A and B are shown apart, each in its own frame.
Chain A
Amino acid sequence: DQQVKQNSPSLSVQEGRISILNCDYTNSMFDYFLWYKKYPAEGPTFLISISSIKDKNEDGRFTVFLNKSAKHLSLHIVPSQPGDSAVYFCAASAIMNRDDKIIFGKGTRLHILP
């Protein structure tokens, strides 16, 4: 049973436009969420995170929004650039539960079109 779901296996966005990657979770104990980016033949790279006490966190072109009632988070990239083409993993953990495990979603492959 997947606790972290990324229902779109892939997404294509025109360069310069906004990319929106979505993630849903089922475990209400999750209180910390992270996004990782992965290029082929490389390990995942941390992008941005958000604690459950916030509903938005912004870092440059990247913004993560958290909707706790809907158990949904999204990553916005604006403007999208060619180098953003990669697989994006959503991840969640339950730090208040003293559970040090991070659960990853299956990932969404983002293609930025010229």
Chain B
Amino acid sequence: EAGVVQSPRYKIIEKKQPVAFWCNPISGHNTLYWYLQNLGQGPELLIRYENEEAVDDSQLPKDRFSAERLKGVDSTLKIQPAELGDSAVYLCASSLGAGDIQYFGAGTRLSVL
């Protein structure tokens, strides 16, 4: 069974440019999470979806970040415009439901120059 798939694995952009990350969760998983992981730190939740509904986006900087999960399957996370401080690893995870084991993708490493 395929795990959580994220793309791209790496992205290098100049500041003020837009960028998008894509996540394909494990088939049948209703809950999807986006996390931000800064160097040397643990993941921090950005947004959580239950099917297509964003049920917790309190930590998402809404002035520049946006996310969507169309049809309750794949999800995209977008930053526009990117800032130097956005350089980090963006992790996607999915679970059968809230409270179930989370399975993580390998992440997208973003470098903003």
- A and B interact: no
Chain A residues at the B interface, C-beta cutoff of 8 Å: none
